[in-house]
Amino acid sequence: MRANDPTSKVFYKGASDDFIVFVDDPAVLKNWKNDRSIPLSDVVNGFKIFVTHKHGAQGVLDGASNASLDNEFGTHNVDDCIVKILEMGSFQTYTQSEHQADTNLANGPAFR
Look at the pTM and tell me if it is higher than 0.75. Answer: yes
**Helix 26-34 vs helix 78-88: angle between axes, to the nearest 10 degrees?**
100
How many CB atoms within 10 Å of residue 61? Answer: 17
Domain residue limits, the chain: 8-93
Burial of 73 (0-12, 13-18, 19+ CB in 10 A): buried
> Per-residue pLDDT tens for 65-111?
999 999 999 999 999 999 999 999 999 887 665 555 556 666 666 55
Percent of the chain with pLDDT over 90: 56
- CATH homologous superfamily of 8-93 equals Ribosome maturation protein SBDS, N-terminal domain (3.30.1250.10)
